[in-house]
Structure 1
């Protein structure tokens, strides 16, 4: 029955810790900016998950202090900012730290080799196509697995092709070029 019921002191501790950490996180986001919890890169994604884990363990464990949790979260956000700066300034660091986006579909055709390589199923892509309101596969120019794991769909009239910058840096292992 202990797994259903908890003492008032434990509940009070968890509630108070949650409130304090919420205000600390608001302060951090105001200082660090909205990128704190964005999923713009794999580093951002990993940082967000790690911060969630730290907050959870700080709230759920009596052995982790609020100060310790706040310092760890602050350090993670600082590392995220440093990594982001290094990625912009050093191309080799960006290549080392980030995955390359991968083309999953081109000109209405599924790229099965890339689907297999990325462990993404055709049905996953079809679901994203529906989500993007794609109606005709002939009007789908590209489907890209982004570095964050999101799937982007570029579609429109066949008369208009997307600007080349939209596919800059996207890997297509189906091509030999």
Structure 2
């Protein structure tokens, strides 16, 4: 069906605008971390929010207030999980990935690369984008929890203490 009624179009325009404004208000209430770089857990909540917004827009059986309460529930649950994960290690482990070491002192960590489905070409691209010409100039490449690569090079034989929480790194054994 191409067109049902002008009433349906007007409903989508009015309810869609109000639902969108409510979503923006909810996100502003929960702070910057709600829209920061996301991990897989955050992505699921984002998809659920999008689905809820679409239901409000396109389903006449879902009232605006019900949809706004649904979005608020999802956002507040996300906020509660984020707040708790900062304070409880077991919650953080349950909902967040751990950064993974993919290269150490110019040598790729092939097993970790296989587990994370990363190619050497992707490592070289990360090194280039960090402004380095060779892999040997780099102390480490880390696959971060949000899927980005961090290229670490101390240049001065530093301690690499920023790698302390990275899977596959044992700082004391590697470098002091």
Q: If the length of structure 2 is used for normalisation, what is the TM-score?
A: 0.79
Q: How far off its partner does 1:71 sit?
A: 1.2
Superposed counterparts of 1:92-107, under 5 Å: 92-107=90-105
- Asked if structure 2 preserves the Cα contact closer than 8 Å seen for 1:134 and 1:155, the reply is no
- Asked if structure 2 preserves the Cα contact closer than 8 Å seen for 1:143 and 1:152, the reply is yes
Match status 1:36 vs 2:34: yes
Q: How far off its partner does 1:82 sit?
A: 1.2
For 1:162 and 1:47, locate their aligned partners in 2 and report how far apart those are by CA, in whole Å: 37
Aligned residue for 1:171? Answer: 167
Q: 1:68 to 1:129 in 2, by over 3 A?
A: farther
- Asked if structure 2 preserves the Cα contact closer than 8 Å seen for 1:154 and 1:162, the reply is no
Aligned residue for 2:156? Answer: 159
Aligned residues: 170
Q: After the TM superposition, list the runs of 4 or more consecutive aligned residues in structure 1 that deviate by more than 6 angstroms.
A: none
- Asked if structure 1 preserves the Cα contact closer than 8 Å seen for 2:101 and 2:140, the reply is yes
**Unmatched segments (≥5 aa) in structure 2:** none
- Asked if structure 1 preserves the Cα contact closer than 8 Å seen for 2:27 and 2:75, the reply is no
Q: If the length of structure 1 is used for normalisation, what is the TM-score?
A: 0.79
Q: How far off its partner does 1:169 sit?
A: 1.3
Aligned residue for 1:88? Answer: 86
2:60 aligned to 59, 62, 65, which one? 62
